[in-house]
Structure 1
């Protein structure tokens, strides 16, 4: 009897030992998997932090601009009160520089002295006179933007201590700048031009207003076209379309279009909207049409997923109390699926905001100084503006590029935060 009991317990003991050994191995595997996942997240956050820190470090100085104060005499002999717009305002700046540095007489030295002030500073004086004609005949201290090399030196990007042959500023120019520093006539101020001006060949005069408005006009039309079309398509395909080979073919094509490279949509826009229909090149209207075609698959897929997440009992209950299929969809299913649809739409808009390749194909890469005033005016967008500045050789455009990237990231993060907020606030748990 004892032998039979031992023979009965022995296999169960071996089984328990095997199970414990297997559990220990599974626990080790689970801990290793968790550690790998946590390490991947930490590495991702580390690389993302390095990227953001590098962008901020290179771009935060763009939000300041160096200005030089000069005593400007609005000479009536230079400024015709009857036609102030066509006057030579740079002559006023040159005269003010000569009065500030009367010892500078040679042609070469005079040219270096004039170089301290931005070539576009005359437009500031022109704006002042056009707004206040009573300034003619007066002498006033005016803060004028410095040249980009002066700005770079004031921000520490040009070392004053290296030899003259190794920097863009001469010893005489540095001496004049130190003279202005001693008299507190040169300082860094908040760079409002960066937010209020369009593009320019001069880095100190370049801004993002034109590109920002171009992005705004483009996204407004994209949203107005893609959202209703995408929602209507998703509702029809999910709720009304018969299940046959044609609808299956349409569904496969929509999924394939979501994976098509964006530049293909740019080629389509170039061939159809510009060459065939003759629409204006480099206009937000054409850019919006191209981006609408690109974002529609994303919105349709997200819309269909949101409709599928609504429980069938909602549909059955609505139909059971006598509602028609259209009433069931519009009054019950669509309101419950709308948060998911809005989330997909906002994500699609964020994708459209960051696109560059399709817009390059329709001419939105052109150098455009004027700020667009409408949907058909020539314009560019923020990603294309970043691309143009990144290709410029001037050192000052490096900080402009990074600052524009920071602004674009703020818009993208805001749009994604809105999408997360809508999903968490209106999403229903079943």
Structure 2
């Protein structure tokens, strides 16, 4: 009797499923579900496009910098000391700013400029022109006594005008550059002495209060040191810990507590690791503040859970038959791990490691807590020297009031995104290259 009733119910359900109204409602529900998914995807892509457009449209100009070509007269008298000798010290302390200003004055055909005109002339040149002219002399002393052409940095306001950030139609009293300066700029452009060139200084200069002489060199070196420390500390410890927990550790309450804490540490806010580094590495161990070493150790602690979890997942994905076969031919558990399991788990380990490094490269909060916001001009040569990092440099530039730092902020963000993109692409490539499907 039950069988007959089930058959009748199934037949009734079949008739309902084939009912045109029922089919129409089912198709409508499926269409709505697809529409919701496409809508969510479209919204996400829209905001992603807006984000990248905002960054690129405001930041691409940071890779260009306005320069002025000056014929600088390097008179020997300007480099002589009190004894009439030219020494390294006398070359270092020479008044290069005056040389650049005199060269610009001569280029513009000003015989005897008034004091306001001299002030306006200074407003066309960057404060970094002395470094550029001195570097040319230090690289070749034979130019002393000659008049040589030198491309020097224009002032940040001139650079902003050339890039369109300053509207020259704005009334003079509300414009950073006056009409006389605009006329001089037009003359320099007409003579081919003022043009935009690739901004190598963005990658070679250190910290500066002037946007045209501010660069990422210190941040790039500091980030390199920190990533090197993370790779040397977090990766070996993380892989070893994952291998032990997965292959050797007994399954008991103690190991369960360890696993729970590892998973919890992966979700701890990064600023907590900064507080830990401040308390342990700086206050307790006495390591130098603002050093790449401290930043690398803090980022290593933050990256460890990610490396351990990814490595455990990769080891767990190796089929048990591999271990059984190795043990069956007489291999020890250690030999099985190093000769068979880890090589086969390598794609997942590399992927987890690179993702951990990417996460560490983009962190800012823990580095702020340990003082990596220092104003560092000199290039760090060791991990113990004061330094900063790319995301911290972006943070510092974003908090500056000068107009030129807006494009510097976006330009540095583009550089950081390029690093992140390359590292993520490397993770995908390595995984696909070495991955084995079982």
2:62 paired residue number:
62
User: Among 391, 405, 422, which residue is 2:399 paired with?
Assistant: 391
Which residue of the other structure, out of 4, 12, 15, is the alignment partner of 2:13? 15
Question: 2: CA distance between counterparts of 1:149 and 1:279?
Answer: 41
- What does 1:75-154 correspond to in 2, within 5 Å? 75-80=75-80, 81-82=86-87, 83-101=90-108, 102=110, 105-154=113-162
CA distance in 2, matches of 1:238, 1:12: 49
Alpha-carbon distance between aligned partners in 2 of 1:418 and 1:12, rounded to the nearest angstrom: 54
Aligned pairs for 1:344-355 (under 5 A) are: 344-355=352-363
**1:23, CA displacement in angstroms?**
5.7
CA 98–272 in structure 1, closer or farther in 2 if over 3 Å, else same = same
Contact 1:204-1:396 within 8 A present in 2 as well: yes
Instruction: Give how far 1:106 is off.
Output: 2.0
Give the aligned partner of residue 229 of structure 1.
Answer: 237
Do the aligned partners of residues 14 and 194 (structure 1) sit closer, same or farther apart at CA in structure 2, a change above 3 Å counting?
same
Q: 2:195, 2:322 → 1: CA distance?
A: 67
* Corresponding residue of 1:29: 29
1:265 to 273, 277, 280: 273
**Does the aligned pair in 2 maintain the 1:104–1:110 contact within 8 Å?**
no
**Cα distance, 1:259 vs structure 2:** 0.5
Structure 1 residues 8 and 163 mapped into 2: Cα distance closer, same or farther (>3 Å)?
Answer: closer
1:38/1:104 CA distance change after superposition, 3 Å? farther
Question: Distance between the aligned counterparts of 2:138 and 2:337, measured in 1?
Answer: 60
Tell me the CA shift for residue 27 of structure 1: 4.3
User: Does 2:212 align with 1:204?
Assistant: yes
- The equivalent of 1:179 in structure 2 is 187
**CA displacement, residues 327-356 of structure 1 (integer Å, 9 cap, x when unaligned):** 222211111112101100100000000000
Q: 1:12 to 1:97 in 2, by over 3 A?
A: closer
Give the distance between the partners of 2:304 and 2:64, measured in 1 at CA: 40
C-alpha distance in 2, partners of 1:51/1:413? 15
After superposition, the C-alpha distances for 1:314-334 in whole angstroms (9 at most, x for unaligned) are: 122222222221122221111
Name 2:326's counterpart in structure 1: 318
Q: 2:316 aligns with which of 298, 304, 308?
A: 308
Is the deviation greater in 115-124 or in 327-336?
Answer: 327-336
Shift of 1:91: 1.6
Mark the runs of 5 or more structure 2 residues left unpaired by the alignment: 81-85
Which one is further off, 76-85 or 411-420?
76-85
Residues 133-185 of structure 1: per-residue CA shift (max 9 Å, x gap): 11111112221110000000011110111111222111111111112122221
2:429 pairs with one of 405, 418, 421:
421
Query: C-alpha displacement at 1:369, in angstroms?
Result: 1.0
Tell me how far 1:105 sits from its aligned partner: 2.4
CA distance in 2, matches of 1:328, 1:34: 48
Q: What TM-score, normalized by structure 2, do the two folds share?
A: 0.93
Equivalent position SS for 2:363: coil
Residue 188 (str. 1) matches residue 196 (str. 2): yes
Counterparts in 2 of 1:35-46, with a 5 A limit?
A: 35-46=35-46
Alignment match, 2:377: 369
Higher mean C-alpha deviation, range 298-307 or range 162-171:
162-171
d(CA) in 2 for partners of 1:46, 1:298: 30
Deviates more, 1:279-288 or 1:314-323: 314-323
- Alpha-carbon RMSD across the aligned residues, in angstroms, is 1.8
Structure 1 window deviating more from structure 2 (301-310 vs 291-300): it is 301-310
Structure 1: runs of 5 or more not aligned: 1-6
Change in Cα spacing, 1:232 to 1:95, as seen in structure 2 (3 Å) is: same
* SS of residue matched to 1:71: strand
Secondary structure (helix, strand or coil) at the match of 1:207 reads: coil
Q: Does the residue aligned with 2:421 lie in a helix, a strand or coil?
A: helix
**Larger deviation: 265-274 or 324-333?**
324-333
Quote the Cα distance in structure 1 between the aligned partners of 2:370 and 2:48.
32
The offset of 1:26, in angstroms, is: 4.3
1:77 partner SS:
helix
In structure 1, what is the equivalent of residue 299 of structure 2? 291
What residue is the counterpart of 2:365 in the other structure?
A: 357
For residue 31 of structure 1, report the CA deviation from its aligned partner.
3.3
Q: Does 1:406 align with 2:417?
A: no
